[in-house]
Structure 1
């Protein structure tokens, strides 16, 4: 009969291996639990943190200025400007035409209205533009003409179209074409030297696009790129000027 005294016992080396394996599994499980607890804690801490304050938007001095808009809806609204002074914003976009108190003469276009040029409002009248007449303002069923004096020639009455009628409704472009307050005061931070160049309608290095538009007119051909970082050719009443802007400062004038 064979001796089977130890037939049911696990060899010592094998028992140690099992115990070591169980210990390793236990340690790994504890580590996994600890990592999970840490991740949950971190998520909760992050969630409880106050949201970071959004960075305050940065505005230039020009962007901080909001010229007044009056939103005229009829001729009566427009006539509230009678007797007041306005300054041209839409430089080079509007012609002045000889006028009488009741008529504007489209047949004899006069000079362009230049940037920041002052005009003294006399009245607003209605009339029709001839079919052949050029006008940047739609002709509609009829136009609204602004009658005014130029301070440089106060004895002569001029007119220019500033709105049109479509059925019973009027559309005005006064807000888009004029300053109701002196731009020399609104933008006094530009300095006297810059304003002297604008009023003399000269382009200079260092000008912004807005300053260049007031100096040379809004009729232009911009090249590729965002405003302030591109090359713009200004018509300048038939005497083209090319300006290249970087960070809204003219770096070349040709």
Structure 2
């Protein structure tokens, strides 16, 4: 073998040996260093995040009877419809809405009943076809008194023995004033007057003027529109606090 070829082969071998040695050295050092866990992003919790409202976990008509004689508070203002209730006939007129329950409105449940769903609610069409599916057969209703009249609102529905109970999603079983007693008194005063004010957080605004619909968002800003019982408002939130309250009519 010519000497030039020998030197070239030797040079290649030296380079390979050095590369292998460097690789082994890097592996050795990496294994000696302590393993660093990836840092999770820090989440800033507020006092509201530590409030855990009680749940009923009702699963049928019998378990819903726990509500009878108890006060409850409406979670989603101007979202939950109520209907006239005929005491003598023990039947709610579910075809004629009497109104919408207000934000954190207090009601006392006098009865919980089950009655057949109106035909308009029993069947649901599958989009893009003529097929209709039977989705509910009975309504589960809470009966309460308002302005000396009896009314009913829905707690869920049943279909051939299977129940969909919505009570935990639509009701507080504890007075929200106690659950959120850490809020300043001026905030509660504004809530009682149904006023949304700058500086309030989204939950406080919801307690004051009901549930809002998201119009837009970007970065730290969210814009929500509130029906507010027929007096619509638009609230601009920045970093979770109301910055601007506007008439949206």
**TM-score normalized with structure 1 length:** 0.74
Residue 79 of structure 1 contacts residue 123 of structure 1 at CA under 8 Å; is this kept in 2?
yes
Per mean C-alpha deviation after superposition, the further-off stretch among 173-182 and 227-236 is: 227-236
**Residue aligning to 2:3:** none
Q: Is the 8 A contact 2:216 2:224 kept in 1?
A: no
- Secondary structure of 1:207's counterpart equals coil
Deviation at 1:172, TM superposition (A): 1.3
* CA RMSD across the alignment: 3.5
Shift of 1:73: 1.2
The within-5 A match list for 1:55-204 is 55=40, 57-58=42-43, 59-101=45-87, 102-106=90-94, 109-131=97-119, 140-150=136-146, 153=147, 155-204=148-197
**Structure with the largest fraction of strand:** 2
- Return closer, same or farther for 1:32/1:106 CA change in 2, 3 Å cut-off: closer
> 1:39 offset after TM fit, Å?
2.5
Quote the Cα distance in structure 2 between the aligned partners of 1:201 and 1:211.
10
Q: TM-score, normalised by structure 2?
A: 0.76
Structure 2 Cα separation of the partners of residues 223 and 81 of structure 1: 36
1:37 Cα offset (Å) = 6.2
Counterpart Cα distance in 1 of 2:220 and 2:145: 35
Structure whose alpha-carbon radius of gyration is higher: 1
Q: Which runs of 4+ in 1 moved over 6 A?
A: 27-34
- Structure 1 residues 36, 105: closer, same or farther in 2, change over 3 A? closer
- Distance in 1, matches of 2:16 and 2:161, equals 82
Q: Which residue of 2 aligns with 1:44?
A: 31
C-alpha distance in 2 between matches for 1:226 and 1:71: 36
Residues 154-182 of structure 1, C-alpha deviation per residue, up to 9 Å, x if partnerless? x4432112211111111111101000111
- Partner of 1:237: helix, strand, or coil? helix
With over 3 angstroms needed to count, the CA separation of the structure-2 counterparts of 1:197 and 1:131, relative to structure 1, is farther
Q: Is the CA contact (8 Å cut-off) linking 2:55 and 2:168 kept in structure 1?
A: yes
Instruction: Tell me if structure 2 keeps the 8 A contact 1:233–1:242.
Output: yes
**Unaligned 5+ runs, structure 2:** 1-13, 122-133
Number of aligned pairs?
A: 227
User: Does the CA contact (< 8 Å) of 2:198 and 2:244 recur in 1?
Assistant: yes
Cα pair distance change 1:36/1:104, threshold 3 Å: closer
Q: Which residue of 1 aligns with 2:239?
A: 247
